[in-house]
Chain A
């Protein structure tokens, strides 16, 4: 009900009737008369501005007697007196003055040339042309200095870093602000999920932002830009401006888009096809088969060890044997022996064609006194796995009214309903990908598993226990994958509202007062299920092995912001301009969750309700965290003769989450820019040149409830009530952590504006980190909150725009982004030299190590001799050394090249996205090769002999290296059973480093081919129409990680670089039609 009330309020504010003022319209062209889309029209002395549409048209409502300033990148701006109203044609000449307006911190529009820090803007079309469910993924490769990792989970989270990791254990994701509303991007996956055990990736909440509503995205990368946002700006800010109505004729836009996707097979395992089920030669009388009389003729038959999930068994030579289906009464092969061969339909056939529909309709318009925009978008997608669906309905509306000549009121609201079914499980346990990639029998036909599930609706798994006398309906490790998808699926839904109301009062010339209230609130329900008859797995609030059950989590999150802001923008003298703001922000966050589950299974099969719990329902997990931050801030930007600028920012915050005696902190920023091109009028090739520099110190405080100790409540033991100390010791002497950042930059436009270069250098140190550092359990706790540690990030960001061809009909623009971030852990807590960020199966940890980059992968490494050769033992295995740094998750650099070629009404654009370096550890390969799945575990060795032959017979794997006395190794390690060359259980001879891979990639990330249909194609009522063919993840041009996407992973968060049960990449193509009436 709350929703309805809030929505109504916002609607009333937004769409009430209008009052009168001046509306002017016009078209902006270059000096050849070619329309300039995206040119900026700004009412002089205000923040009121619009941009031109595709055809150069604009409409703006201005105060009486106003002037407008028209500007466009690379053109001289022009100021017009529009006090008489009417319609204008404004031709801009290419000039050396650059006036590009961007939306900066707190939604304030500023001329880009005045900024003393780096920010990079992209237009909404760049994230809405090629559709993806999570807008974050659309930014990949388009912004320099930003690392985005998609993870490939259905509806899942994307890891987003700006200028590297700066917090050791805290949040490193940037803040999202939509029209001045901070929008939660909380990652809220379970700890089991994050450590790669089991669970679903519930995505990041920024995916609720509808790409179709985005006008522009401005990425504030450094602290100097984001300091005004306080502690939350420490990781950068994504400032999103949504589309608004414009005065003039009402418009309706329809957009319809369909995409289809299939897996990129280079990101999935290629299996060996020569050997079937088993771990080696120790079953029954034959060594490979159980001896069971299946057909009842009194003679023992050869039976596949169905209970073992590996492929180091008998050769697949067509011998008639009894396989899993011979035990299934409903199966056509019941009691029948079938040829032992590799499956015709391997796991790759499990994936389905993913289909996405995105349809939206928008109405917008306005008159001289009001503007409005109302939109509706329906996004509906099915994933690559059976029974996966995600549906999102978004309603957005915004409007402004000039209530009097001095008072403008406005509002915006975004309402979002998301329903998801069948997210993919992640991590090691209960994940179909873990089964396919790590624990599988290559003789099992996936289509047969599908048929028997569809025929019976029962959990007839290939991995049943009937071959050892138990029931055919008792699977050991793995359920029938179709059973998993259709019976054990999760669902979740999220209802969200974010919006604001604001009023701006013009107190006097150049001075406005704005009051704004904004809200971001959502309810989320997550339901997880296990149907009766499933394999037991970690489940429920007790995190116990359960073979059936129901688990629900209810989440409520809300954030309210109240802002009071004075905004002054004027010329003090003819030469000296000032733009200043002063304000107060009150923020209140509440996050509560409630999780409850059944225990001991479900009484009535397949009734998923808490009251259907076999045992009494365990104690729920309940939590509330509330936090309030009051902040006051001031910012002044001084401009001298439009070529020298200085901006000063200061903010003071008081946080309820800090210890009471020390709960306030101050931070500040200063930045300056010099437009040196103004001083160099002789250099005709240089249209624009600017150097800039900035320094900032920003703070960061704690999450709620980390100061005072509390006890944990444990489920009763009979009548005994139980309490325990928590594992983390709180600390009441914490102070805010501090980030200090310096940046310098150079921006130029040269050669008739055909070449633009933007260079940034920065160094950022985050000190006094707030973190729950690990301590020896001998202290009674495993973690303790402290202030300690320092991380440094240093880097270079390059943006290069080149227009090789610019003509009436043919234009070609190339945009290159490149960035390198060097990360260093400068200090840690006390004498600690290493902090474990994540500890994973496979004996692997991801760490912050003193003197190393943040995110080193540690595990067993090779032993090297003095010449750097790997040392091999007498049995042909590698020798290993424990606890080595065996990888680094940080890429050396990231980059993107975007090409846009337009010829008349056709536009082709494509994006090449690149990463150099960065390592991943693959548990998939660690176990997968250990169980004999990948092609190379079953093929021929360097001698041309079957690798699985005995070493004495010429089989085995030759590991490259030297023996302990320095001779070249010639002894082959045996590879005829799981305990050989690829064995996972003995790291002293098969070190963890064997499955660490370089995560570099080059990808053809996006491609779109658009055709602007002739204006008369749909009759006169249609003003514009556009047809596009789009593609995403079309081609991985280069990668080094075998059988997987280097970007895949568990989900967003601080511990990256670990692949377990990773999902293949979806390669999509789509068609979209946009029509404007």
Chain B
């Protein structure tokens, strides 16, 4: 009998101790992190996305493809998911986390830090709207709501313009993130404020055709405070070594592939204008700059390769530049908005800023502007044609704005892919394929609201 007692006491002893609950806590990954680390990661992801998404370089017809021209022919099968998940998951979720931590912790710099985060959030949502049209906004980023509604694109834009004002005003006090955690401006709040004003100007000018009064008012407010000099460009200083290099280097050099050459659309224009930026953009082929036929397969051996400058791993990746601001102001002036300076001044300043950004000298600028085909006064076409053409050239390495310039101003005239028509050139990106499965009801409401999930449906600001 003693044995039984012993036995059952053993069993009792063992069963009465519960399992060790701490085993289920991950011992290799943090549960608490500093807000700055989330902010920096979100910011870098934003720059990586806009610098690395080569469909824009194709849609703006800066580049052509070699053996596999599907993207040039506007197949969106893979890329339609990219911006969506990159912005919501890699950018906005981390920004949201950073904002929550900063709000909770408070402190002297919290206002400035929240200003930066607000500005980045506005930027990120504007990219979503400019890409797809209506997107989840008011109910987005809530893990308890798996089917967020898609908000009306113009309503989102109106809110973004309110939020950017709040962001700019809260950038007035405190000193932001530490220099080490701010890979864009090294903690310089005055530069952040210029970038926020530049974004405000960009968003305002998007609305020029649909809400002229708001556009004019907001552009006027933002004009003086926006980036005016290349030193203030909103860009990431990429580093020489992976994984912190410019994504262009990753795809052109690290991959070892030869998927792209310059496109005839772009190079033909550069050649016509004797553009001094050509050596910065492309290599020569047999002594000349020649572009591959946009939209077909091209033998890489026959056309201009992408330049070595573009292939530098630490090439700065700008997503708002001084040149862009000048062209926005030129457009604002041309539309009669209340901004300082004339359209010609800003047009010339935009060209100058761009040539200098790509290493050109003052002489290069002067020679270029001296050409009848370039000077604002003598160049052919209306203000839209002139500004759009030069802005398109200047936006070569901010290709999202290159494509958007064409969408907004309908210039320059792009080439038509064999078998397609001019009307087939995409004006938006299709919603991600899996949204139909994951959030179908909301998606279908959005699709009928924007007039169909088509590549040729126009974003709300694209009315002319």
Question: A854 CB to closest chain B CB, in angstroms?
Answer: 16
The answer to whether the Cβ of A777 comes within 8 Å of any Cβ in the partner chain is yes
Known contacts A283-B299, A536-B254, A713-B29; is A723 also within 8 Å of B147 by CB? Answer: no
A986 to B69, CA, bound (A): 11
Count of A interface residues, CB-CB < 8 Å: 95
Known contacts A705-B26, A710-B29; is A780 also within 8 Å of B143 by CB? Answer: yes
> Interface readout for B237-280 with A: 1 if CB under 8 Å, 0 if not?
00101111000001000111110000000000000000000000
Contact A657 B24 (CB under 8 A): yes
Neighbour of B33 across the interface among A566, A626, A723, CB < 8 A: A723
Contact B41 A305 (CB under 8 A): no
A834 to B439, CA, bound (A): 11
- Taking CB atoms, residues of chain B closer than 8 Å to A584 are 11, 14-15
The answer to whether the Cβ of A985 comes within 8 Å of any Cβ in the partner chain is yes
Known contacts A623-B28, A710-B30; is A545 also within 8 Å of B254 by CB? Answer: yes
- Taking CB atoms, residues of chain A closer than 8 Å to B68 are 985
Known contacts A712-B29, A836-B437; is A784 also within 8 Å of B41 by CB? Answer: no
The answer to whether the Cβ of A599 comes within 8 Å of any Cβ in the partner chain is yes
Instruction: Tell me the A618-673 residues at the B interface (CB within 8 Å).
Output: 618, 622-624, 626-630, 632, 654-657, 660, 663
> Interface readout for A986-1004 with B: 1 if CB under 8 Å, 0 if not?
1100000000000000000
The answer to whether the Cβ of B90 comes within 8 Å of any Cβ in the partner chain is yes
The answer to whether the Cβ of B10 comes within 8 Å of any Cβ in the partner chain is yes
Q: Which residue of B73, B136, B254, B298 has the most chain A CB atoms within 10 A of its CB atom?
A: B254
- Taking CB atoms, residues of chain B closer than 8 Å to A655 are 19
Kindly report which residue of chain B lies nearest to residue A628, judged by CB atoms: B19
Contact B242 A542 (CB under 8 A): yes
Known contacts A507-B3, A624-B27; is A722 also within 8 Å of B44 by CB? Answer: yes
Contact B241 A711 (CB under 8 A): no
Contact A727 B89 (CB under 8 A): yes
Contact A711 B143 (CB under 8 A): no
Kindly report which residue of chain A lies nearest to residue B251, judged by CB atoms: A545
Kindly report which residue of chain A lies nearest to residue B433, judged by CB atoms: A883
Neighbour of A776 across the interface among B26, B73, B438, CB < 8 A: B438
Contact B299 A832 (CB under 8 A): no
- Taking CB atoms, residues of chain A closer than 8 Å to B141 are 778-780
Neighbour of B92 across the interface among A624, A656, A774, A780, CB < 8 A: A780
Contact A476 B258 (CB under 8 A): yes
Instruction: Tell me the B45-103 residues at the A interface (CB within 8 Å).
Output: 67-70, 73, 75, 77, 84-85, 88-90, 92-94, 96-97
Instruction: Tell me the A687-731 residues at the B interface (CB within 8 Å).
Output: 704-705, 707-715, 717-725, 727, 729
Kindly report which residue of chain A lies nearest to residue B29, judged by CB atoms: A710
Neighbour of B300 across the interface among A284, A307, A513, A833, CB < 8 A: A307
Contact A780 B244 (CB under 8 A): no
How big is the B interface, by class? 35 or more
Kindly report which residue of chain A lies nearest to residue B438, judged by CB atoms: A776
The answer to whether the Cβ of A1022 comes within 8 Å of any Cβ in the partner chain is no
The answer to whether the Cβ of A468 comes within 8 Å of any Cβ in the partner chain is yes
Contact B38 A836 (CB under 8 A): no
Question: A892 CB to closest chain B CB, in angstroms?
Answer: 27
- Taking CB atoms, residues of chain A closer than 8 Å to B40 are 717, 720-722
A507 to B8, CA, bound (A): 13
Contact B70 A985 (CB under 8 A): yes
Known contacts A290-B301, A843-B77; is A782 also within 8 Å of B15 by CB? Answer: no
Contact B24 A615 (CB under 8 A): no
> Interface readout for B220-242 with A: 1 if CB under 8 Å, 0 if not?
00000000000000000001011
- Taking CB atoms, residues of chain A closer than 8 Å to B41 are 714, 722-724
The answer to whether the Cβ of B181 comes within 8 Å of any Cβ in the partner chain is yes
Known contacts A564-B11, A724-B90, A836-B437; is A627 also within 8 Å of B23 by CB? Answer: yes
The answer to whether the Cβ of A953 comes within 8 Å of any Cβ in the partner chain is no
Kindly report which residue of chain A lies nearest to residue B243, judged by CB atoms: A542
- Taking CB atoms, residues of chain A closer than 8 Å to B93 are 725, 780-781
Kindly report which residue of chain B lies nearest to residue A860, judged by CB atoms: B77
Contact A656 B21 (CB under 8 A): yes
> Interface readout for B1-45 with A: 1 if CB under 8 Å, 0 if not?
001100100110011001111011111111101101110110010
Q: Which residue of A307, A542, A986 has the most chain B CB atoms within 10 A of its CB atom?
A: A307
The answer to whether the Cβ of B104 comes within 8 Å of any Cβ in the partner chain is no
Neighbour of A599 across the interface among B21, B75, B242, CB < 8 A: B242
Contact B89 A782 (CB under 8 A): yes
Neighbour of B89 across the interface among A618, A627, A713, A780, CB < 8 A: A780
Contact A279 B24 (CB under 8 A): no
Contact A282 B24 (CB under 8 A): no
- Taking CB atoms, residues of chain B closer than 8 Å to A711 are 29-31, 33, 38
Contact A834 B437 (CB under 8 A): yes
Contact A630 B3 (CB under 8 A): no
- Taking CB atoms, residues of chain B closer than 8 Å to A329 are none
- Taking CB atoms, residues of chain B closer than 8 Å to A834 are 437
Neighbour of B146 across the interface among A290, A628, A776, A883, CB < 8 A: A776
Instruction: Tell me the A272-294 residues at the B interface (CB within 8 Å).
Output: 279-280, 282-284, 290
A624 to B441, CA, bound (A): 40
- Taking CB atoms, residues of chain A closer than 8 Å to B180 are 718-720
> Interface readout for A596-625 with B: 1 if CB under 8 Å, 0 if not?
000110000000000000011010001110
Known contacts A718-B183, A779-B143; is A615 also within 8 Å of B241 by CB? Answer: yes
Instruction: Tell me the B285-332 residues at the A interface (CB within 8 Å).
Output: 296-301
The answer to whether the Cβ of A192 comes within 8 Å of any Cβ in the partner chain is no
- Taking CB atoms, residues of chain B closer than 8 Å to A318 are none
- Taking CB atoms, residues of chain A closer than 8 Å to B34 are 721, 723
- Taking CB atoms, residues of chain A closer than 8 Å to B441 are 831
Q: Which residue of B89, B135, B438 has the most chain A CB atoms within 10 A of its CB atom?
A: B438
The answer to whether the Cβ of B145 comes within 8 Å of any Cβ in the partner chain is yes
- Taking CB atoms, residues of chain A closer than 8 Å to B77 are 843, 987
Kindly report which residue of chain B lies nearest to residue A305, judged by CB atoms: B299
The answer to whether the Cβ of A296 comes within 8 Å of any Cβ in the partner chain is no
Question: A720 CB to closest chain B CB, in angstroms?
Answer: 4
Question: B39 CB to closest chain A CB, in angstroms?
Answer: 9
Contact B143 A781 (CB under 8 A): yes
Question: B192 CB to closest chain A CB, in angstroms?
Answer: 16
A656 to B398, CA, bound (A): 51
Kindly report which residue of chain A lies nearest to residue B88, judged by CB atoms: A777
A315 to B334, CA, bound (A): 60
Instruction: Tell me the A809-850 residues at the B interface (CB within 8 Å).
Output: 830-836, 843
Q: Which residue of B24, B243, B250 has the most chain A CB atoms within 10 A of its CB atom?
A: B24
- Taking CB atoms, residues of chain A closer than 8 Å to B296 are 282
The answer to whether the Cβ of A361 comes within 8 Å of any Cβ in the partner chain is no
Neighbour of A544 across the interface among B4, B37, B92, B242, CB < 8 A: B242
- Taking CB atoms, residues of chain A closer than 8 Å to B44 are 717, 722
Kindly report which residue of chain B lies nearest to residue A624, judged by CB atoms: B27
The answer to whether the Cβ of A109 comes within 8 Å of any Cβ in the partner chain is no
- Taking CB atoms, residues of chain B closer than 8 Å to A1009 are none
Contact A656 B27 (CB under 8 A): no
Known contacts A629-B19, A836-B434; is A704 also within 8 Å of B243 by CB? Answer: no
A713 to B90, CA, bound (A): 13
The answer to whether the Cβ of B367 comes within 8 Å of any Cβ in the partner chain is no
- Taking CB atoms, residues of chain B closer than 8 Å to A546 are 254
- Taking CB atoms, residues of chain A closer than 8 Å to B258 are 307, 465, 468, 476
Neighbour of A468 across the interface among B27, B38, B140, B300, CB < 8 A: B300
A282 to B418, CA, bound (A): 15
The answer to whether the Cβ of A535 comes within 8 Å of any Cβ in the partner chain is yes
A474 to B256, CA, bound (A): 9
Question: B206 CB to closest chain A CB, in angstroms?
Answer: 22
Neighbour of B437 across the interface among A467, A623, A832, A986, CB < 8 A: A832
A710 to B296, CA, bound (A): 47
The answer to whether the Cβ of A547 comes within 8 Å of any Cβ in the partner chain is yes
> Interface readout for B420-459 with A: 1 if CB under 8 Å, 0 if not?
0000000000001111111111000000000000000000
The answer to whether the Cβ of B176 comes within 8 Å of any Cβ in the partner chain is no
The answer to whether the Cβ of B159 comes within 8 Å of any Cβ in the partner chain is no
A-B contact pairs, 8 of them (CB 8 A): A542-B242, A564-B7, A615-B241, A656-B19, A713-B30, A718-B183, A776-B434, A780-B143
